[in-house]
């Protein structure tokens, strides 16, 4: 693959690849030593970037010609387990910090999105319409989506066999 001079949205530019390549884990030798040639790391990373940027399914890679879906997904799992993406993210944050600094003051260290244990119910405005009470559990004599006491509804009558 030649030099990428312009970012087309899913291929990694050369500058990014030069920073990422040293972080790649060492290749594991094939136990038998005889297998198909391994897809290049850059092609696999371009395929991963394509999937992440476009939201396409892994199997869609087979039609793009970048790399096979199985090779890209295998490499993605391998690199994720090795911590490649987290380390690249960390280095990116450090380089951004060195350039102009990151304003960490607005970030929350910890947080949760839950209901307020004491808030809401007693002070909320009440609706003007009448409230309908709903049963929490369905009665035993009712089927799903059928009113009580109705047998069969609009189903066809049973056919009797002759003969």
**Which tens digits make up the pLDDT trace of 58-105?**
999 999 888 899 999 999 999 999 999 999 999 988 888 888 777 777
Contacts of 84 (CB under 8 A, 6+ apart): 20, 23, 24, 25
- Domain span at residue 43? 14-20+39-102
Residue 86 forms part of a structural domain: yes
When pLDDT is cut at 50, 70 and 90, the band that residue 150 belongs to is: low
* CA 133 centroid distance within chain: 39
Whole-structure pTM over 0.85, yes or no?
no
User: Is residue 46's pLDDT more than 90?
Assistant: yes
Is the residue at 88 inside a domain? yes
**More reliable by pLDDT, 126 or 7:** 126
Mean pLDDT of the chain: 78
Number of domains within the chain: 1
**DSSP state at residue 135:** -
Q: Which two tokens stand for residue 69?
A: 């879906």
Give me the percent of the chain exceeding a pLDDT of 90.
28
Q: Report if residue 138 sits inside a domain.
A: no
């Amino acid at each position: 693959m030649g030099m990428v001079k312009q970012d087309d949205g899913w291929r990694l530019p050369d500058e990014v690849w030069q920073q990422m390549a040293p972080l790649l884990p060492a290749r594991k030798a094939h136990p038998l030593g005889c297998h198909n040639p391994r897809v290049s790391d850059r092609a696999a990373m371009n395929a991963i970037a394509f999937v992440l940027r476009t939201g396409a399914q892994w199997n869609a890679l087979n039609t793009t010609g970048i790399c096979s879906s199985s090779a890209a997904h295998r490499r993605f799992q391998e690199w994720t387990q090795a911590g490649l993406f987290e380390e690249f993210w960390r280095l990116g944050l450090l380089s951004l910090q060195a350039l102009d600094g990151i304003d960490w003051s607005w970030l929350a260290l910890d947080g949760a999105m839950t209901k307020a244990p004491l808030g809401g119910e007693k002070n909320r405005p009440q609706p003007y319409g009448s409230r309908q009470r709903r049963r929490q559990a369905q009665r035993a004599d009712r089927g799903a989506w059928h009113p009580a006491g109705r047998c069969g509804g609009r189903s066809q009558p049973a056919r009797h066999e002759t003969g």
